[in-house]
Amino acid sequence: MTPVIDALQYANWSEKIFRQMREGGVDAVHVTITYHENFRETVLNIEAWNRLFERHSDLIFQGFTAEDLNRARQTGRTAIFFGSQNPSCIEDDIGLVEVLHRLGLRFMQLTYNNQSLLATGCYEVEDTGLTRMGREVVAEMNRVGLVIDMSHSGERSTLDAIAHSTRPIAITHANPAAWHPALRNKSDRVLRALTESGGMLGFSLYPHHLKGAGGCTLQTFCDMIARTAETYGVSHLGIGSDLCQDQPDSVVEWMRTGRWTKTVDFGEGSADAPGFPPMPDWFAGNADFPNIAKGLRASGFSEEETAALMGGNWVRFFEQSFGPAEAPLKQVAE
């Protein structure tokens, strides 16, 4: 059976959520372990994850390679793959790319909304593309097998990263802007460049990225996936739910403002609605993944296509992406 993979979550992790992952049949999740944290703070987050792995070894384990997807199925657990939504974890030190990859980091965004040392975020007015260090870090990420994720980056920076990277990149959590014109959703130009270069788009269920926000129906969401698949091909699409289960609103404040401002930035929210927005009722948490699969079938996808969208396409991407550039690609047994 094809693994079910969610290519982005940032939950308030607990045994309850890990049990819901099992209930929802989620075999692997790319989890955000750090936003604005520096290297040492990121390592503290890894230490906290190590304690979760030790305490809940019957439910989860750390994933490092695509082969861990088989291990997840064979042992009835969820493989947790680490990612960062901002490059602050590598500070100004390119050597930390390899160090964090060794510690299991498998995705890193070049920016989180703002200008970083590497590229421009989607909330800046001016997007100057990849910086000098950005080009060096993209090459180093390519070398070691750390996936470039441009979910929160500006248009030009994203196109630059796709062009400069020698390996396919990912936009782990976003939707087409043509469907819902949020600043975080992606243009046709970006989606075309992404998918034509072998990259992957993970569809987001974060309400600010949905037409109708939390009121978006399952059918509307899955019909959007169907139209996206018609345009770009089904094989470069997956799920990246952006699920922030059980998080208090203080966390979305940290995501948005980190330490870069003394004032309040509401990001995709507003002064009237500063917190996490309410989720669609058909996707309240990890136990609801089977609903998406049902919705995709109802929107006309075959069983095979549905399996590809629910995880199979990410399996292929994980296989191609997590090892050193010069290593031969490994086949994952289904």
Question: Does position 75 bind a second copy by CB under 8 A?
Answer: no
Q: Where are the alpha helices (DSSP H) in the chain?
A: 15-23, 39-55, 67-75, 95-102, 132-144, 155-164, 188-196, 218-232, 249-257, 289-298, 303-307, 313-321
- Return the range that interacts with a second copy (CB under 8 A); candidates 4-12, 88-96, 234-242, 260-268: 88-96
Among 52, 103, 226, 287, binds a second copy (CB under 8 A): 103
CA distance 160 to 284: 36
Closer by beta carbon to a second copy, 55 or else 102: 102
Residue 93 engages a second copy in binding (rule: CB under 8 A): yes
Per-residue interface string for the shown chain with a second copy, residues 33-72, x marking contact by CB under 8 A? ------xx--xx-xxx-xx---------------------
> Closest by alpha carbon to 7, among 280, 278, 323, 316?
316
- Cα 287 versus chain centre, distance: 19
CB 94, min distance to a second copy, A:
9
Binding a second copy (rule: CB under 8 A), the pick from 95, 212, 233, 278 is: 95
Q: Among residues 99 and 284, whose Cβ is nearest to a second copy?
A: 99
The answer to whether 232 and 191 have CB atoms below 8 angstroms apart is yes
- Tokens 């990410």: give the residue: 314
Separation of alpha carbons 314 and 4, rounded Å: 9
Q: Is residue 74 involved in binding a second copy (CB under 8 A)?
A: no
Shortest separation between residue 71's beta carbon and a second copy, angstroms: 14
Q: Which residues bind a second copy (CB under 8 A)?
A: 39-40, 43-44, 46-48, 50-51, 93, 95-96, 98-99, 102-104
